[in-house]
Structure 1
Amino acid sequence: MESINIPQQTTQEIAGLVREQLVEMLEGGFAPNVILLREFDFKKAGIILDGLHFSAWILLGHIRARQQTLLQFMKHPEQDIDVWPDAHWPENHQPASEQEWNEAIDAYAQELEEVIVLVKAPATDLFKVQPNGKTRSWAAITILHHTGYHIGQLKTIGRQLGVW
């Protein structure tokens, strides 16, 4: 059997590639979350469908709460931050106004941009294991996973409500 010669990449090259791929996915890849949220009709954001315990507004609040926790960890990883505290589910199921809905989306987008800036920064050590046993790359991947899960729910709610 013939051997395959695979060029060795440096750790720095691999880290750069991971950084680029994380940024691409955080920015939304083929389906940016911010666009989906802005398309969602705020008048339907407070509707809780039969069998569910959340509305689009509750989901947005839950997504933001988890993202904020993980962002704080990424900013201050040396602190022993509980990166997976009990889930925050807002009690109010609907935004008070279209302005409140839009402000929440704006805040989500701004917080996400902070995450992206940290991931892009060469000075950010994405792989150093912190005192809580986690890494910044773990936090970025967790934001992607958690948000993606709930955005899928939001998209399903929107389809059921005729948003799309």
Structure 2
Amino acid sequence: MTSNLSTDTLLRKQLAELLHGGFAPNVILLREFHHDKAGILLDGLHFSAWVLLGHMQARQQTLLQFMKSPEQHPAIWPEAHWPQNHTPQSEQEWNQAIDRFEYELNEMIALVLDPKNDLFRVHSNGKTLSWAAMTALHHNGYHIGQLKTMGRQLGVW
């Protein structure tokens, strides 16, 4: 069976689907997590759900900045940002952080879907937009898995 979609279009659509989180959409899982449990540190972990969200958002933002302006933002893997505060101050702060994460994720997806953006052009730092997008989906997926496990232990799901 042949597809009417070009390889480029198909790749962009699949990459966008995976950035959303595939079968476990990132933003839906974050919104389901109870804000009152977001600051709990489980035994053996050095982070709470709040810290994970801050870490994911910071890394995603760095990769997004590179994708928006590769030559102005070549530093794509600085020291990992781990927020020091383990608890959101309020439900509003938790929801605003999720909103910010979602907004930036949607910006990244729009860049991936835009055929004017060459996903495979190698920039001065040796990286491509496709590399940045795949790194974001891998990084977010890894930490969403941790968040899901934490949520199960905390009775969120």
2:26 pairs with 1:30: no
Partner Cα separation in structure 2 for residue 61 and residue 69 of structure 1: 12
The TM-score, its normalising length taken from structure 1, stands at: 0.91
Deviation at 1:77, TM superposition (A): 1.0
Give 1:44 deviation, angstroms.
0.4
1:27 positional shift = 2.3
With normalisation by structure 2, the TM-score equals: 0.95
Matched, 1:109 2:91: no
Q: 1:136 aligns with which of 110, 129, 132?
A: 129
Structure 1 stretches (4+) deviating beyond 4 angstroms?
Answer: none
Residue number among 32, 44, 48 corresponding to 2:37 in the alignment: 44
* Matches of 1:79 and 1:61, distance apart in 2: 23
Q: What does residue 85 of structure 1 align with?
A: 78
Cα displacement (A) at 1:31: 1.4
Gaps of 5+ in 1: 1-6
* RMSD between aligned residues: 1.5
**Shift in Å, 1:28:** 2.6
Residue-by-residue CA offset, 1:6-34 (whole Å, 9 max, x unaligned): x9xxxx93222211110111123221110
Size of the alignment, in residue pairs? 155
Does structure 1 conserve the Cα–Cα contact (< 8 Å) formed by 2:65 and 2:73? no
Match 1:149 to one of 120, 142, 145: 142
Number of the residue aligned with 1:19? 12
The residue number in structure 2 matching 1:122 is 115
Q: List runs of 5+ in structure 2 lacking aligned partners.
A: none
Match of 1:98 among 73, 91, 96: 91
Contact 1:47-1:94 at 8 Å conserved across structures: yes
Identity %: 69
Distance 1:105 1:137 in 2: 24
In structure 2, the residue corresponding to 1:137 is in which secondary structure? helix
What is the CA distance between 1:80 and its match in structure 2? 5.0
CA contact (8 A) 1:127 1:137 kept: yes
Taking the TM superposition and a 5 Å limit, the aligned residue runs for 1:40-79 are 40-79=33-72
Deviation at 1:119, TM superposition (A): 0.5
